[in-house]
Structure 1
Amino acid sequence: MGIDSQWFARLYQDNYRSLVLVAYAMTNDLGDAEDLAQETFAVAYRKRGQVAETDSPAAWLRTVVVNLARKRWRRRSLLHRLLIPRAEPSPPADIGAEHAELHAAIGALEQERRAVVVLHYLADLPVEEVAAVLRVPVGTVKSRLSRARAALAQRLTTEVGHD
């Protein structure tokens, strides 16, 4: 596969929105998500030969954006413990009320569970591909998905019960 500027522009057009979606679901912040997607493409441009040689450039991009989001989460987690916590970001204005509760519930999951939920349900990846992106066994992905679904069900049921 060639690595001309048209190829890279097409790669960007075909994958930018999905990368923002994955990053947004992991970070709960649209600005951070857009930054992570841009940073992912900066890495991809520097390593475009490697990206072009992969069987799935989209999977390569997802792996990079997930790893960058995890790195950012670890850094912020450390800062959160050391400094005054920053205000919680609010969801974008165009998100509907029915999605806002789900978004908040996903955002409340611990990072590992959030990652599997985002990749499996929002990015629509099969369990095996989620395992490959996160570099964990398939059984670990299944376990995290099961625990995440239970946590989401409990949180959403509790929130609905309070209305």
Structure 2
Amino acid sequence: MTEEETRRKRQARFERLAHVVVEPLHRYLLRRAGADMAEDVLSETMLVLWRRIDDVPGPGAGSDPEPDANPDRSPSPDEVLPWCYGVARGCLANARRADGRRLRLVERLIRTQQRPPTGAADHSDHSDLHAALGALGALDREVVQLWAWEELAPRQIAEVTGLTSNAVSIRLHRAKRKLAAQLGRKDAERPGHKRDEGRSSQ
């Protein structure tokens, strides 16, 4: 079988599979998540099914020890849905983990803002930091907060934000320079204060 024939066979099998599973998977996700998340996770689930089409059980499965007499027939829901539900469950868990990271970031920011000052100097430092962060664009601010507070590496921040690792590194470098420029004047006003540059962004 040529490469083109293999591609067409995989495409046809995926289309037959999608015809059977899209609506049940959508209902499955809507029962467990909001409409927006369900749509996103359904798209991710179908992408995984396309990538792993040879692993999906049913007619035409690449790993089927007993090849179907008619590999071109449409699969029955009983043959494929349990496996596909497992994929959707994993994709939903991944989406919730990503949302959880964002929620923890917001909660930590709120706790930080509400924390009572322990002294005039600490309160001043806190206000300076939030003012400097507030001067950044929303995406740059999120990148910096994920790096500084959640201690994520650029490749992990890329997962959260949907950027590439290279784009995250560039944004992080530029944002830290902006923060340093804004906070540098305050540092210079505090005798004996030495700024900790923190972790490497690499």
Please give the range of the TM-score, normalised by the shorter of the 2 chains.
0.3 to 0.5
Larger Rg belongs to: 2
Compute the TM-score of the two structures, normalised by the length of structure 2. Answer: 0.39
Compute the TM-score of the two structures, normalised by the length of structure 1. Answer: 0.47
